[in-house]
Amino acid sequence: MELLIATAVGALTAAGIYMVLRLRTFPVIIGTSLLSYAVNVFLFASGRLALNAPPVLRDGVETYTDPLPQALVLTAIVISFGMTAVVVIIALGSWLSSDDDLVDVPAVSDGDAAEPALPREQRQEAAQ
């Protein structure tokens, strides 16, 4: 059973990384979501696997699975929804306002990039 979990985490991670490396926003968002699954399962599994031992206290039951990773992962799942939503609105904003959903910033020539990096004052001083 451990082998199944490990390979599932591996598959989700690999798929997530591959999608994150794509050039458009939508697949990158999908990639981060897949990575979230992988990370959540990873964290959950770090409490070791147990069958039929939910951490809900019952009289006469002695063995329970590790509740701590579960609590951590529970909030992580909800937070990752918030994160996905923020990334999606950013991607939408860039697509709607510039018709561009490429992830990479287009390469600029050195001269263009150097100019705005200097504060105005320094440029004036350099010119003097």
Gyration radius of the chain's alpha carbons: 23
Contact 17/46 with Cβ under 8 angstroms?
Answer: no
Q: Is 4 in the site for other proteins (CB under 8 A)?
A: yes
**Site size for other proteins (CB under 8 A):** 95
Pattern of binders to other proteins over 35-74, x per CB under 8 A? --xx-xxx-xxxxxxxxxxxxxxx-----xxxxx-xx-xx
Q: Is 105 in the site for other proteins (CB under 8 A)?
A: yes
Residue choice 60, 95, 111, 112 for contact with other proteins (CB under 8 A): 95
* Least distance (Å) between residue 60 CB and other proteins: 13
Structure tokens at 83: 């994160």
Specify the length of the chain in residues.
128
